[in-house]
């Protein structure tokens, strides 16, 4: 008996050895890959068969359910392809655990895989969305992509059993290293994509998820080309806007550059007050001394600048010598240059020398005249051309303040005015006789009149020293004027009642030229006029007649 | 004050009536057909609210379960889970779409309410256990607390929906007997089992049941108010 057992064992060993040498064995262990449910109503399990052992091997799937006893075999091996098991709706229970195993059987043996525990609830993975359509919608502003899709056809969303959420991703084909842009779509089955690049090809993919399940696979790529578009209307507006902005900028720039002209054009400057002779700059400088000097020097008192306003001279003539000149028709205006020199007071009386000069000298002349019968004028005679006979007069000090000069001589002026009214006017040419030697220039101007007539030359201040000439009325025919005999004091002038022979007076004045004089009666210089009448210059300046009984 | 005694008595009576009236009245004023000062919610709005609530509840339970499996049970093998018994397995629930659609509205609503009622106490117990243990962190314990609170709120919401449906005549009045906690709560029968259930099993079972509630509510909504979202 032991021999038979031993013999059987040896036979088996030999058989297995032989089988090994041939290369056949029982099948290898199959492996369950996964089970998937696309719509939460059915599911499919797949396995890997493993090594078949060299012999034809069959696989069987067995499962157990949680709530029921018994081992069941796969209801459908073909629907999902090879090595798969498809559980249809009737065989699928949700919220129930399945214990699934696969058995591989061949002629030599069978092998059981590891079990897989499955709850359909947690193996759900939907299929990708279907019917993905991408269209380019061109609107006013900018074109955009409109992506539409449909849920996978097996998913039942209408009964509320399944709630799908979608996800979309977009990529530009031209950009090589571009990334996919993902957009979540929620439960909607369409999406709009903005900000497109014209001329590009866009790739779109979609996937979906069922409740809290796994994401589906990405759908097949949909390619869409965005056409190159030129918004014609807008481009024209853009061009117009840019152009007008450029023009506006140019105008603004020009105005800014020429703002002075613009300002002058729009807001013309108001002419300010202009005082002739007033220097505004000097006023602005603020130095009072300069201001005062400029104010005063400039023209006050107003001077006669024009020639026609200038006053002609009244000259006292000696009738014998002067008349030929007058008959010649000479006017003194031609002989005397008004604008040049300043006249001194000329009083001719009896050919006496009278001092002529400036202020001091004139006063001196006045004072002398008080004593003498006639005015005396004394000028520095020089053979200078008459063009400038009195240029030494200009040597007079000009620095004396005008006001004081004017004041001092105004009084004299009044006196002279009054004298002029009562005396005969005759033009007298004063000829300077002595030399024109400038060396002998002194402050005293001596004029030796030709003949003392007794006329008064009244002068006024000229511009520079303030003397002016009174405009006389030349009337030679008047002979009824009275002559001045003596100036008594400052404001009394004694007139000759009787005409004293002029020869007498002229003799005195002339001095050496007394030929004619000798023929005449000798005059006693101190002979007084018996009957005297005079004029009295009151304080108000008016002349009043006065009678003086006594003789000087 | 110079008020007379009867006036004082009258005032006192009025105050007492007021207090009593407020105490006896129901908690919330009933808003019928858009009264002033009351925001009227349609049935569809109510359904949407409860569905959102159930979705949130399910997501929290899912998180807790995965945390538990990841940190607490790394070494435990998964064989033998087929023998797990949830304390709610006695409640007959439809296991598929057709089964759920075949149920009547009242029955479906009843199933939902049964499930929600069944989980109120076990979740509270679970939270209490978790506080004392150190297995979970504070974040998980907060989730457990929120979960138990949400079950309570969801149940009230579904009851409101059922009341509204009864008002509108969509379902019959056979649900009135369900509101009493004694008939619905199976904890009296399975109290021993619920306590024997481990935390892991509890989380597993609750995750499943919350999913059931969510799905049943969705089916119910699309059957009753299928206007939008179905």
The pLDDT tens digits of the residues spanning A22-71 come to 778 888 899 999 999 999 999 999 999 888 888 888 999 999 998 788 99
Chain A residues lying within 8 Å of B211, measured CB to CB: 95, 121
Distance of CA A377 to the CA centre of its chain: 72
Q: Are A343 and A462 in contact (CB under 8 A)?
A: yes
- Statement: residue A520 has pLDDT above 60: no
Tell me, yes or no, if B96 comes closer than 8 A to chain A by beta carbon: yes
- Residue indicated by tokens 């149920």: B103
> Is the minimum CB–CB distance between A158 and chain B shorter than 8 Å?
yes
Pairing of strands A346-347, A353-357: unpaired
Domains of chain B: 40-72+86-185 (1.20.1250.10)
Q: What is the mean pLDDT of residues A340-348?
A: 41
Q: Which pLDDT does position A232 carry in this prediction?
A: 57
Q: What does the pLDDT read at residue B35?
A: 57
Collapsing DSSP states into helix, strand and coil, what is residue A217? coil
What is the H or E stretch that residue A71 is in? strand A71-73
CA–CA min distance B56, chain A (Å): 12
User: Domains of chain A by range and CATH?
Assistant: 31-119 (2.60.40.10), 130-232 (2.60.40.10)
Nearest CA in chain B to A91: B96
Closest chain B residue by Cα to residue A88: B96
B87 vs A227, more confident:
B87
- H-helix or E-strand containing B46? helix B43-67
**Higher-confidence position of A531 and A432:** A531
In the block, residue with structure tokens 């709009």: A192
Tens of pLDDT, residues A352-375: 443 333 343 333 333 343 333 333
Residue B83 or A121, more confident: A121
C-alpha distance from A145 to closest chain B C-alpha (Å): 25
List CB contacts (< 8 A) between B229 and chain A.
160, 187
Higher pLDDT, A49 or A282: A49
Residue A26, both tokens: 């029982």
Residue A117 sits at the chain B interface (C-beta within 8 Å): yes
More confident residue, B173 or A135: A135
Query: Quick one: pLDDT at residue A250?
Result: 95
Q: Select the more confidently predicted residue: B116 or A379.
A: B116
Distance of alpha carbon A40 from alpha carbon A333, whole angstroms: 142
Place A491 in a pLDDT band, splitting at 50, 70 and 90. low
Predicted local distance difference test score (pLDDT) of residue A330: 39
The alpha-carbon gap from B215 to the nearest alpha carbon of chain A, in Å, equals: 6
Q: Which residues of B touch A66 (CB under 8 A)?
A: 82, 84
Residues of B in contact with A163 (CB under 8 A): 218
Low-confidence winner among A4-8, A43-47, A412-416 (lowest mean pLDDT): A412-416
Q: Is the peptide bond before A469 cis (omega within 30 degrees of 0)?
A: no
| Chain A positions in Cβ-Cβ contact with residue B93 (cut-off 8 Å) | 95
Closest CA to B146 of B204, B63, B51: B63
> CA of A66, closest CA in chain B: separation in Å?
6
pTM as predicted? 0.54
Q: Does B230 touch chain A (CB under 8 A)?
A: yes
Q: Over range A181-210, report the average pLDDT.
A: 89
Going by pLDDT thresholds of 50, 70 and 90, the confidence category of residue A167 is: very high
Nearest C-alpha of chain B: how many angstroms from A90?
A: 9
Rounded CA gap, A203 and A197, in Å?
Answer: 13
Burial degree of B230 (CB within 10 A; 0-12, 13-18, 19+): middle
Q: What is the mean pLDDT of residues A400-408?
A: 40
Question: ipTM surpassing 0.90, yes or no?
Answer: no
If chain B, 230 residues long, is cut into consecutive pieces of 10 residues, what is the mean pLDDT of each piece? 75 71 52 62 89 94 87 58 74 91 91 92 86 69 88 93 88 61 48 63 92 94 84
- Interface contact A40, partner B, CB < 8 A: yes
CA distances in angstroms from A95 to A46, A144, B205, B209, listed in the order given: 21, 45, 10, 9
What number of C-beta contacts closer than 8 Å exist between A and B? 58
Q: Does the pLDDT at position A349 exceed 80?
A: no
Identify the closest residue of chain B to A211 by CA–CA distance: B55
Tokens of A505: 């007076």
Q: How many helices (H) and strands (E) does chain B have?
A: 9, 0
Percent with pLDDT over 90 in chain A: 24
Name the phi and psi angles at B216, rounded to 5. -65, -40
pLDDT of residue A481: 64
**CA-to-CA distance for A376 and A361, rounded, in angstroms?**
11
Q: What is the 3-state secondary structure (H, E, C) of A322-359?
A: HHHHHHCCCCHHHHCCCCCCCCCCEECCCCCEEEEECH
**Residue numbers in B near A157 (CB within 8 A):** 230
Question: Residue A511: pLDDT above 70?
Answer: no
Spatial CB neighbours of A152, under 8 Å, sequence gap ≥ 6: A38, A39, A126, A127, A128, A129, A130, A208, A216
> Could you tell me if B155 lies within 8 Å of chain A, comparing CB atoms?
no
Q: Which residue of B has its CA nearest to A116?
A: B79
pLDDT in tens, A261-271: 888 888 888 88
**Calpha distance B199→B130 (Å, rounded):** 9
DSSP tag of B71: I
On whether any CB of chain A is under 8 Å from the CB of B208, the answer is yes
Q: What is the CA radius of gyration of chain B?
A: 22
**Does residue A518 belong to the interface with chain B, where contact is any CB pair within 8 Å?**
no
- Indicate yes or no: CB of B221 within 8 angstroms of CB of A92: no
Task: List b or e across A359-370, with b for residues whose CB sees 16 or more CB atoms inside 10 angstroms.
Answer: bebbbbbbebbe
Quote the CA–CA distance of A137 and A155 in Å, as a whole number.
30
Interface contact flag, A94 B95, Cβ < 8 Å: yes
Decide if A378 contacts A444 (C-beta within 8 A): yes
First to last CA, chain B: 68
Using the beta-carbon criterion (under 8 Å), do B97 and A66 form an inter-chain contact? no
Residue A99: which of B59, B82, B95 has the nearest Cβ? B82
For residue B219, give the nearest of A121, A157, A160 by CB distance.
Answer: A160
Q: Which residues contact B78 (CB under 8 A, 6 or more apart)?
A: A117
Picking from A112, A97, A128, the residue whose alpha carbon sits closest to that of residue A35 is A97
């Amino acid at each position: 008996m032991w021999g038979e057992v031993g013999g059987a064992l040896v036979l088996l060993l030999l058989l297995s050895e032989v089988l090994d040498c041939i290369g056949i064995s029982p099948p290898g262990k199959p492996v369950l890959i996964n089970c998937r449910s696309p719509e939460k109503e059915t599911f499919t399990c797949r396995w890997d068969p493993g090594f078949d052992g060299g012999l034809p091997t069959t696989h069987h799937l067995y499962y157990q359910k949680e709530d029921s006893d018994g081992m069941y075999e796969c209801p459908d091996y073909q629907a999902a392809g090879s090595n798969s098991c498809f559980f249809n709706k009737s065989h699928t229970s949700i919220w129930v655990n399945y214990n699934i195993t696969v058995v591989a059987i061949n002629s030599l043996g069978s092998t059981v895989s590891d079990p897989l525990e499955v709850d359909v609830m947690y193996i759900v993975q939907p299929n990708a969305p279907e019917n993905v359509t991408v269209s380019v919608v061109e609107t006013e502003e900018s074109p955009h992509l409109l992506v539409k899709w449909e849920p996978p056809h097996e998913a039942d969303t209408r009964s509320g059993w399944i709630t799908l959420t979608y996800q979309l991703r977009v990529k530009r084909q031209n950009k090589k290293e571009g990334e996919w842009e993902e957009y979540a779509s929620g439960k909607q089955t369409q999406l709009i994509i903005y900000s497109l690049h014209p001329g590009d090809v866009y790739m779109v993919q979609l996937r979906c998820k069922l409740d809290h399940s796994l994401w589906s696979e990405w759908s097949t790529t949909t390619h869409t080309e965005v056409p190159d578009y030129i918004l014609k209307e807008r481009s024209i507006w853009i061009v117009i806007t840019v152009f007008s902005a450029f023009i506006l900028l140019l105008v603004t720039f020009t105005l800014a550059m020429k703002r002075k002209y613009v300002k002058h054009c729009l807001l013309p400057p108001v002419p300010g007050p202009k005082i002739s002779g007033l220097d505004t700059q000097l006023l602005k400088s603020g130095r009072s001394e300069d201001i005062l000097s400029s104010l005063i020097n400039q023209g006050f008192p107003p001077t006669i600048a024009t020639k026609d306003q200038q006053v002609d001279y009244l000259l006292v003539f000696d009738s014998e010598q002067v008349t030929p000149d007058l008959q010649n028709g000479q006017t003194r205006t031609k002989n005397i240059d008004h604008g040049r020199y300043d006249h001194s007071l000329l009083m001719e009386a009896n050919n006496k020398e009278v001092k002529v000069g400036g202020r001091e000298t004139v006063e001196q002349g006045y004072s002398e005249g008080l004593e003498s019968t006639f005015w005396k004028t004394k000028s520095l005679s020089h053979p200078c051309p008459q063009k400038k006979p009195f240029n030494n007069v200009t040597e007079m000090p000009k620095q004396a303040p005008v006001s004081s000069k004017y004041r001092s001589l105004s009084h004299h002026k009044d006196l002279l005015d009054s004298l002029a009214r009562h005396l005969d006017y005759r033009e007298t040419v004063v000829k300077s006789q002595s030399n024109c030697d400038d060396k002998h220039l002194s402050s005293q101007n001596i004029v030796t009149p030709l003949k003392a007539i007794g006329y008064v030359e009244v002068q006024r201040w000229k511009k520079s020293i303030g003397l002016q000439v009174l405009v006389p009325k030349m009337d030679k025919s008047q002979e009824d004027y009275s002559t001045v005999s003596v100036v008594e004091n400052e404001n009394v002038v004694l007139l000759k009642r009787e005409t004293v022979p002029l020869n007498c007076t002229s003799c005195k004045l002339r001095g050496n030229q007394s030929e004619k004089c000798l023929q005449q009666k000798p005059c006693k210089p101190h002979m007084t006029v018996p009957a005297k009448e005079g004029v009295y210059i009151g304080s108000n300046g008016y002349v009043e007649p006065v009678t003086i009984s006594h003789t000087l | 004050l110079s008020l007379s005694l009867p006036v004082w008595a009258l005032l006192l009576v009025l105050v007492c009536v007021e207090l009593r009236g407020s105490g006896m009245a129901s908690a919330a004023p009933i808003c019928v057909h858009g009264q002033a000062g009351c925001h009227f919610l349609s049935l569809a709005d109510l359904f949407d609210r409860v569905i959102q609530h159930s979705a949130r509840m399910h997501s929290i339970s899912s998180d807790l379960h995965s945390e538990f499996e990841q940190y607490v049970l790394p070494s435990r093998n998964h064989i033998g889970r087929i023998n797990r018994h949830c304390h709610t397995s006695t409640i007959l629930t439809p296991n598929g779409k057709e089964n759920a659609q075949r149920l009547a509205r009242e029955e479906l609503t009843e199933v939902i309410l049964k499930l929600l009622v069944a989980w109120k106490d076990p979740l509270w117990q679970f939270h209490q256990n978790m506080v004392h243990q150190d297995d979970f962190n504070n974040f998980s314990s907060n989730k457990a607390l929120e979960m138990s609170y949400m079950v309570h709120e969801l149940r009230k919401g579904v009851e409101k929906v059922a009341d509204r449906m009864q008002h509108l005549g969509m379902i019959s009045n056979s649900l009135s007997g369900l509101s009493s906690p004694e008939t619905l709560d199976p904890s009296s029968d399975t109290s021993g089992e619920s306590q024997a259930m481990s935390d892991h099993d509890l989380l597993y079972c609750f995750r499943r049941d919350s999913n059931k509630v969510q799905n049943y509510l969705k089916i119910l909504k699309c059957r009753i108010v299928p206007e939008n979202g179905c």
